[in-house]
Structure 1
């Protein structure tokens, strides 16, 4: 009996983990689903210091199309903060698997130029 319990618990745990793991979608697919897009502010300090560059972020998009979490992949910290804050306000059409909304993850690039 004990030998049966451990495999069953492992399967249940892995199934629960798999359901919480967002499905990766290509950048182009994610961008096509945007319904509300906020442009990041160029912070006064970044302008004053003439900081330019690219920021790469990764966003977890919930079943309702809202951004649940933003991870910074690369970029100057002076630029990543406003990009991250803007991306958190984006809204998307829900991503569907069959007819069921699912959580997804995708990457987004922001270019800051003066």
Structure 2
């Protein structure tokens, strides 16, 4: 019986942590971009003729500053440049933090 109670209380504590650990974010809310920084095309990717799209999951605080980025998809040589650029973007203020998917395109023809 003691093991069952201990296991139940541990599960309850873990469940409470999981529910309360995150902050409230509105997901996939389109916020106006106030200022945008173009990514620097990585030289190795350019020489290898690698282009394409990098999809980032971007967390933006209420003031419009990017608080974090996470690569959802895209070429490994392009992803760091996309993250570096988007971290310097600024979005319109919003009453609460938001999380959105942002596409960054690397087009060899425009380079």
Deviation string, structure 1 residues 31-68 (Cα, Å, up to 9, x no partner): xx111101111111111111111110010001111000
Distance 2:73 2:93 in 1: 27
Provide the secondary structure at the position in 1 that maps to 2:77.
helix
Aligned residue pairs, count: 96
- Name the one with the larger strand percent: 1
For 2:79 and 2:106, the matched residues in 1 are separated by 10
Gaps of 5+ in 1: 1-5, 96-100
1:21 equivalent in alignment to 2:24: yes
Query: What TM-score do the two structures reach when normalised by structure 2?
Result: 0.75
In 1: Cα distance, 2:52 partner to 2:77 partner: 10
CA RMSD of aligned residues (A): 2.3
Give me the whole-angstrom Cα distance separating, in 1, the residues matched to 2:18 and 2:81: 36
In 1, the alpha carbon distance for the partners of 2:98 and 2:61 equals: 7
Q: 1:29-40 alignment to 2 at 5 Å?
A: 29-30=30-31, 33-40=32-39
Q: 1:111 aligns with which of 97, 105, 111?
A: 105
**Higher alpha-carbon Rg:** 2
Deviation above 2 Å: which 4+ runs of structure 1? Answer: 12-18
Q: Which runs of 5+ in 2 are unaligned?
A: 1-8
CA distance in 2, matches of 1:13, 1:56: 29
